[in-house]
Structure 1
Amino acid sequence: MCGIVGIIGQGPVASSLVDALKRLEYRGYDSAGVATLENGHLERRRAEGKLRNLDALLQQKPLRGRIGIGHTRWATHGRPTENNAHPHATNKLAVVHNGIIENFRELRAELVAQGHEFVTQTDTEAVAHLVTEQINQGLSPVDAVAASLPRLKGAFALGMLFDGEEDLLIGARRGAPLAVGYGEGGEMYLGSDALALAAFTDTITYLEDGDWVILRRGFAEFRDESNRVVQRAKLKTQASAFVVDKGNYKHFMAKEIHEQPEVVARTLAHYIDFANNCVRLPFELPFDPKALTGITLTACGTAYYAGLVGKYWFERFARLRVEIDVASEFRYREAPMPENGLMLVVSQSGETADTLASLRYAKTQGQKIIGVVNVSTSTIARESDVAAPTLAGPEIGVASTKAFTCQLTVLASLAIALGRARGVLSADEEKRLVNELMVVPGLLAESMKLEPKIEQLSHRLGKTTDVLYLGRGPSYPLALEGALKLKEISYIHAEGYAAGELKHGPIALIDEQLPVIVIAPSDPVLEKTVSNLQEVSARGGKIILLGDAHSIAAAATPLAGEIVMPAMAPDFSAIVYAAPIQMLAYHTAVFMGKDVDQPRNLAKSVTVE
């Protein structure tokens, strides 16, 4: 991860590549590199650390090619070293990559058996060798990419530069964003977003999910995931005038929903060593995990619901008792806190007043503090013993989306790390859980394809006044979050309940007019959720079921609507199921004509009580 730039220029492009990468520094990175064609042949310059190190290397060993690619990386597979830095190359091509290739091990084993020699620890290198193998079989670079892309699993954006091809760049997108820019004199650009290209052009085309693009001077040919040539619109962008740009989305909230495959992958990359299938926390724990007696968790709003999901993980994976409360209540309770206890505070901004006050109280009670925050320079980050960054990037929409799923990702990683450190999880169990986490970005990308169906269902919700959300286990906090999202931006009254509580009161609300959204992944409590669902059906409630094919079949009752999710292991389904819940609220509010990004009465960072 995490920034991609490509240029087909009229003069030397290396310095322009570095300048464009500097515009993406806000995303974070740990190494950088560029590749160009020098006299028709691939040459690379890569450096660990900041872009100034790459700048200095280019001063010593300049590149003068008129076509090239560049990259800033968050380490995913392999340590942040020069050897693992992008671009990765064979004698046929160089590749830059954002995201995660889930099946890189299988591809690597296959390619090694065919005689390919791997020299890095990265998943990206498998892409370079896969395309190289197709070229070795006699295919052109374009046909080699067409043959290779269907074999890749995961969420990714790719940029490719080919040896001997002075007039060809290829980009591909599945899950992670990618844009094409059009310059003067036939210059063409490829970038992670419009911001990277703002210094060169204000005319952009965004690849749709599954698209790939063939770039030549003055020419761009777009193909969809079925390899059919398609037309994509050119747009004018104002990225040069703003720090953050909406891209081709109507609202920041829509853009941030669709960024989730990329930002969750980025956050995972910071916490997971995918090459060794284990959690590698980017900090030292400020306590002895085996001596830990319990966790107190506090937050506000959406962050609180992330904490509620995390409670299930910490108790199950680490066998630690978790006490959780909304920060505005906790701060005034003068709660007794355990000896050798850990306080987890969760905040998008890192400035939430009630959460900060709770942190300060916990410090007076001798607790160790981990702050899960999206802003590394925030007050909560500074006052915690350890700051656990979420790496969601700037979130402009008031209703939190990508910050929520990144918070869940961090909490899942912390729970696994504590479980392993405490001897609760075996190495094999940790490996299984890490493998389940690794596929989450790809599953999020798959869930984005459900948007047309979700938009249709949202039109029904936009005509109602009340909505009920139900879930069990980690899906219960998702029911609370779904109801909150709908309230925040559509102003429809909505409530979330634990499905088992239905008959203890909320069932009185159900009639033929009430939409009931049931969150039902195939998990250990599915049978119980189905029983509650049938109680709703018996009373005429209009059920919209969010689940996979198995859970929808298990419902065995008429449904007013269904959102069929991809099959997945249940442990971290909450991260994936969050996306359709967000999309449902978003499209309902858009249908009703509401101000999605700036809903009434709300602020992004609540710095007062």
Structure 2
Amino acid sequence: MTFSQVVMEVMRQLEGAYALIFKSPHYPNELIACKRGSTLILGVNEVSDQNSAKSFQNVKSLTTNGSPREFFFSSDLCAIVEHTKNYLAIEDNEIIHIKDGSVSILKFDKEKEKPASVQRALSVLEMEVEQIKKGSYDHFMQKEIHEQPHSLTTTMRGRLKDSGVVLGGLKEHLKTLRRSRRVIFIGCGTSYNAALAARPFVEELTGIPVTMEVASDLLDRQGPIYREETAVFVSQSGETADTLLALEYALEKGALCVGVTNTVGSTLSRKTHCGIHINAGCEIGVASTKAYTSQIVVMAMIALAIGSDQLSTQPRRESIITGLSSLPSTTNWINNLPCQ
């Protein structure tokens, strides 16, 4: 049996969520990874010389071109950025087979004896190494609290204008959003609370009823979701397990699914019909700070975009736009806080 056949026999017996990497002395120079439900990222880097210096070149092909390569597996993009910017987000039931520097991807199906070959291209990570360093701060949470004025600026940059809000990620679906019978905010933990804080803006500016759902509770109840409704999924990482399961449920029901996430290339951003990246920068601290404030701002901008066709709310929209524009400068007092 080949190494991939051995792993497939293991996968046939497994239930639930997992992310696994296999290495065996019986199959030297080979490595296999697979996942279902959990997050797994593959980073690929070409080694520029014998000292393993990182080239950070854009590795286009997954097959080897004769140059030695390094491979990195992680559950989070932040962990690989200091090693490489070229990554592949592994999908459920995919088998990543690395042999002699080349990567092949197979799609596993329990019902079929042989997996199908898949062609995938690497993505380029839009993140700087400095974002994952603490600098002069004692810990990442402290650093991210002080970064809030900057993160709010990047969240609104190019989107918030005097004439209104421009959200390219929603442009093609604005008409559907405006015709929605109900907007359902779905999230967990801090993301759920960010949506709760933004709910008054959405109801006031759009005139659409808004309900809140904790993702796990929605699944337990099998709560009703209809085709004429919009489900907005909020997640900093875009990989929250309960939120992704709720997304699968909403997709089955035929609702328009909108994602609000901080992570480009995350499962949430790939599986929703449309959405907005909050662009708050990498958040490593467990207690969410800058992502929380940026999520609220993004959802306020979504409300402004949906309600932009209503003349009755124009004065209110203009006052909110003015307030959002001045928000980074009014939060600059955070930078005067002591670092201790």
Q: What does residue 439 of structure 1 align with? A: 326
Q: Which runs of structure 2 are paired with 1:213-252 in the superposition (5 Å)? A: 244-252=132-140
Which one of the candidate residues 273, 277, 281 is aligned to 2:167?
281
Question: What is the SS of the residue equivalent to 1:296?
Answer: strand
Question: What is the SS of the residue equivalent to 1:387?
Answer: strand
Question: What is the SS of the residue equivalent to 1:375?
Answer: coil
Distance 1:386 1:415 in 2: 15
Distance 1:345 1:423, change over 3 A: farther
Amino acid at match of 1:362: A
Amino acid at match of 1:432: S
Q: Which runs of structure 2 are paired with 1:559-570 in the superposition (5 Å)? A: none
Does the 8 Å CA contact 1:277/1:434 hold for their aligned counterparts? no
Does the 8 Å CA contact 1:295/1:341 hold for their aligned counterparts? yes
Deviation per residue, 1:179-232 (Å, 9 max, x gap) = xxxxxxxxxxxxxxxx9xxxxxxxxxxxxxxxxxxxxxxxxxxxxxxxxxxxxx
Amino acid at match of 1:377: G
Q: Which runs of structure 2 are paired with 1:85-104 in the superposition (5 Å)? A: none
For structure 1, which runs of at least 5 residues remain unmatched after alignment? 1-51, 53-194, 196-239, 456-586, 588-609
Distance 1:422 1:298 in 2: 26
Amino acid at match of 2:295: Q
Amino acid at match of 1:407: Q
Matched, 1:315 2:203: yes
Does the 8 Å CA contact 2:233/2:247 hold for their aligned counterparts? yes
Q: What does residue 104 of structure 2 align with? A: none
Amino acid at match of 1:298: I
Deviation per residue, 1:423-472 (Å, 9 max, x gap) = 5522x4322211110011011112444x46xx9xxxxxxxxxxxxxxxxx
Matched, 1:359 2:247: yes
Which one of the candidate residues 387, 402, 412 is aligned to 2:290?
402
State, as a whole percentage, how many aligned pairs show the same letter: 33
Does the 8 Å CA contact 1:311/1:322 hold for their aligned counterparts? yes
Q: What does residue 148 of structure 2 align with? A: 260
Q: Which runs of structure 2 are paired with 1:12-51 in the superposition (5 Å)? A: none
Which one of the candidate residues 429, 441, 454 is aligned to 2:316?
429
How far did 1:421 drift?
Answer: 3.2
How far did 1:282 drift?
Answer: 2.1
For structure 2, which runs of at least 5 residues remain unmatched after alignment? 1-57, 59-80, 82-127
Deviation per residue, 1:514-561 (Å, 9 max, x gap) = xxxxxxxxxxxxxxxxxxxxxxxxxxxxxxxxxxxxxxxxxxxxxxxx
Distance 2:129 2:322 in 1: 41
Question: What is the SS of the residue equivalent to 1:395?
Answer: coil
Amino acid at match of 1:433: I
Deviation per residue, 1:230-275 (Å, 9 max, x gap) = xxxxxxxxxx9876211111111111110110010110114212xx
TM-score relative to the length of structure 1 = 0.33
TM-score relative to the length of structure 2 = 0.58
Does the 8 Å CA contact 1:298/1:355 hold for their aligned counterparts? yes
Q: Which runs of structure 2 are paired with 1:93-242 in the superposition (5 Å)? A: none
Amino acid at match of 1:281: L
Matched, 1:369 2:257: yes
Does the 8 Å CA contact 1:277/1:435 hold for their aligned counterparts? no
Larger Rg: 1
Distance 1:337 1:437 in 2: 32
Structure scoring higher RCO (CA < 8 A, sep ≥ 6) equals: 2
Distance 1:241 1:293 in 2: 44
Does the 8 Å CA contact 1:319/1:424 hold for their aligned counterparts? no
Question: What is the SS of the residue equivalent to 2:225?
Answer: coil
Amino acid at match of 2:202: F
Deviation per residue, 1:293-338 (Å, 9 max, x gap) = 1101110110010010111111122121111011111122221124
Does the 8 Å CA contact 2:165/2:304 hold for their aligned counterparts? yes
Which one of the candidate residues 220, 223, 235 is aligned to 1:347?
235
Does the 8 Å CA contact 2:229/2:255 hold for their aligned counterparts? yes
Does the 8 Å CA contact 1:348/1:374 hold for their aligned counterparts? yes
Does the 8 Å CA contact 2:259/2:275 hold for their aligned counterparts? yes
Amino acid at match of 1:367: A
Does the 8 Å CA contact 1:287/1:368 hold for their aligned counterparts? no
Does the 8 Å CA contact 1:372/1:388 hold for their aligned counterparts? yes
Distance 1:401 1:314, change over 3 A: same
Does the 8 Å CA contact 1:290/1:422 hold for their aligned counterparts? no
Cα RMSD, aligned residues only: 2.4
Amino acid at match of 1:280: V
Q: What does residue 420 of structure 1 align with? A: 308
Distance 2:242 2:255 in 1: 17
Does the 8 Å CA contact 1:290/1:421 hold for their aligned counterparts? no
- Count the aligned residue pairs: 213
Distance 2:257 2:310 in 1: 18
How far did 1:422 drift?
Answer: 4.9
